[in-house]
Amino acid sequence: MNGRLPLDQQLDSLRAALSRNDVLLQVLARTATLGLPGWYVTAGCLFQTVWNVVTGRPPTHGIRDYDVFYFDADDLSWEAEDAVIRAGRQVFADLPVEVEMRNEARVHLWYEDKFGVPCPPYESTEAAIDSFAATTCCLGVRLEGDGRWRVYAPHGLSDVFNLVVRPNPALAPRSVYDAKTARWREQWPELTVLDWPSSHGTTSASGG
């Protein structure tokens, strides 16, 4: 399993690796029952599962939580998002992990307070995934109605398989990238973490 494989084989390898994580499969299957618009399971639970499989660790090693993004621009109220979160709590109640659900259409309403830089409104879940602090994080998977996997990977999969973490100075602060990569290096010392570009010294978003 390696980033030099043809893309179709990389996708097959991705599915094979992710399928080793039984918790992830449950999160995917159960999220599909919620009818959320534009949803993806995304971020750390995906690329970290691949890292674990590539390095021979248990598939769930080091995974803090499972992120579910969706996009509902029709209702930007906290009450609507909270209703989805509460529905998710019931669906995932017996899983031994935290599943974090977030309406990406609302992120611009709170992002600056949390990270110190403004976030223009996203136009889709994919646009939100594009803004993660590392391009390696920019990965989303969902189940379609016919059971097929839809994979969103705007930067490809080579870095994921090759254990390369590449900065993505698109939005949130560099401090997010530095904090996350420091933690990841403790869990996966085999990683190659590339430096933040000097021309973007003050500014990057989270990614698990």
Residue 183, domain member (yes or no) = yes
Q: Is 4 exposed, middle or buried (0-12, 13-18, 19+ CB in 10 A)?
A: exposed
The answer to whether residue 205 is domain-embedded is no
pTM of the complete model: 0.90
Range of the domain at 160: 7-200
pLDDT tens, position by position, 164-182: 999 998 776 788 899 999 9
C-alpha span between 13 and 104 (Å, rounded): 28
1 located within any domain: no
Q: Which residues contact 35 (CB under 8 A, 6 or more apart)?
A: none
Q: Say if 208 falls within a structural domain.
A: no
pLDDT tens digit sequence for 116-133:
888 899 999 999 999 999
Number of compact structural domains in the chain: 1
Q: Is residue 206 part of a domain?
A: no
Question: Using one digit for the tens of pLDDT, what is the confidence trace for 134-147?
Answer: 999 999 999 998 88
- How remote is the C-alpha of 164 from its chain's centroid? 16
pLDDT tier, 2 (very low <50, low <70, confident <90, very high otherwise): low
